[in-house]
C-alpha cells in the first residue's frame, strides 16, 4: 500500500478497504510503520501501547477472524515520579489475534502464551538516523497461530542472518519493511536467502509510493523454502494472497535436515 505521510487515520482507512476487499485469509500483514510512514522523528505520531491503531488492529482481527500483523511507532513514557522523565520510542511489530480465538489477552514480548504478541525492532537503521530516536529491542519474538509458528522481524533485520537463524523454532518468517527502490535488488536476494537457509516460508511485505526521503516500488512477496518467490506487481497498490503448504515444508525438512545440522555457534 501507499502510505499517507504521518496520517494514521487515513492509513487505517486505506488498510481496512484493502483488507475487506481481499480474499478471506487467516493472516493479514501490513508494511513497516504502515499507519504513518517510516519517520526517524516519532515525536507527535508515536502511539502509546494500546492506542488507536492497536485497537483498530484488534477490531479488524475480530471482524475477520484472522490475525493482523504490522509495525507502528510506539512510545513508552515513565511515571511522572521517574527521575529521567524521558519517553522511549520503539518500532514495534504487533501480531494481533482475534479475541474469540485466544484463551487470554496477555501481551508478550517473547511470544509466549496467547493474545497479542509484539516485537521491537532489534537492528535499527543507523544509516537513516533511526538510532537517534528509537530504542532497539532485545528479544526475539515468535507468534503461534493456527498450527504455524511465525517469527517476527522488521526491515533492516533482514540483513542479519544470525539474528534470524531458525533453530527449528519457526515455520514462517515475517519481514515488514519500507525498503526503498534504490536497494530493491538486495531486498529480493535477501528474502530468498533467508527462506533457503532457514527452510521456511518468508512473507516480505513492503510499501509503494513516496515519502519525503525515498521512493518505494513494493516487491511484496511470498518466498517458499526452496527460494521460489511469488510477488506483487511493482509499484502498484495490491494484495497478494497465498496458501502455505505446511505438509510440503515438513516433508522437505525431514528429507533434507538442514535445521538439525546447523553449526553450534549459530542461533
Return the exposure string of 115-126: e unless at least 16 CB atoms fall within 10 Å of the residue's CB, then b: bbbbbbbbbbbe
Based on its alpha-carbon atoms, the radius of gyration of the chain, rounded to whole angstroms, reads 18
Catalytic-labelled residue, pool 47, 97, 121, 130: 121
- Give CA–CA dist 133/184, Å, rounded: 25
For the chain, the distance separating the N- and C-terminal CA atoms, rounded to the nearest angstrom, is 33
- Give CA–CA dist 238/263, Å, rounded: 40
Task: Pull the grid cell for residue 40.
Answer: 526517524
3 state SS of 196: helix
- Give CA–CA dist 97/95, Å, rounded: 7
- Give CA–CA dist 162/231, Å, rounded: 26
Catalytic-labelled residue, pool 47, 130, 140, 155: 155
Catalytic residue list contains 121: yes
Burial class for 25, CB neighbours closer than 10 Å (0-12, 13-18, 19+): middle
Give me the active site residues, please. 32, 121, 155
Amino acid at each position: 500500500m501507499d502510505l499517507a505521510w504521518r496520517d494514521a487515520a487515513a492509513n487505517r482507512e486505506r488498510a481496512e478497504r484493502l483488507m475487506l476487499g481481499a480474499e478471506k485469509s487467516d493472516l493479514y500483514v501490513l508494511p513497516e510503520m504502515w499507519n504513518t510512514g517510516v519517520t526517524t522523528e516519532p515525536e507527535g505520531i508515536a502511539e502509546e501501547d494500546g492506542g488507536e491503531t492497536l485497537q483498530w488492529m484488534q477490531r479488524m482481527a475480530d471482524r475477520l477472524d484472522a490475525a493482523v500483523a504490522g509495525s507502528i511507532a510506539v512510545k513508552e513514557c515513565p511515571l511522572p515520579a521517574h527521575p529521567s522523565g524521558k519517553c522511549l520510542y520503539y518500532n514495534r511489530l504487533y501480531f494481533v489475534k482475534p479475541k474469540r480465538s485466544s484463551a487470554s489477552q496477555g501481551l508478550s514480548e517473547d511470544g509466549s502464551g496467547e493474545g497479542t504478541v509484539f516485537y521491537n525492532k532489534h537492528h535499527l537503521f543507523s544509516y537513516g538516523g533511526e538510532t537517534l530516536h528509537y530504542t532497539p529491542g532485545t528479544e526475539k519474538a515468535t507468534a503461534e497461530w493456527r498450527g504455524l509458528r511465525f517469527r517476527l522481524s522488521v526491515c533492516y533485520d533482514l540483513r542479519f542472518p544470525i539474528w534470524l537463524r531458525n533453530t527449528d523454532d519457526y515455520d514462517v518468517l515475517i519481514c515488514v519493511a519500507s525498503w526503498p527502490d534504490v536497494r530493491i535488488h538486495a531486498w529480493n536476494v535477501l528474502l530468498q536467502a533467508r527462506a533457503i537457509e532457514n527452510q521456511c516460508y518468508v512473507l516480505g511485505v513492503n510499501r509503494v509510493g513516496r515519502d519525503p526521503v525515498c521512493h518505494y516500488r513494493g516487491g511484496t512477496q511470498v518466498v517458499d523454502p526452496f527460494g521460489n518467490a511469488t510477488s506483487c506487481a511493482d509499484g502498484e497498490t495490491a494484495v497478494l494472497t497465498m496458501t502455505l503448504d505446511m505438509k510440503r515444508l515438513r516433508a522437505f525438512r525431514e528429507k533434507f535436515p538442514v535445521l538439525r545440522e546447523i553449526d553450534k555457534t549459530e542461533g
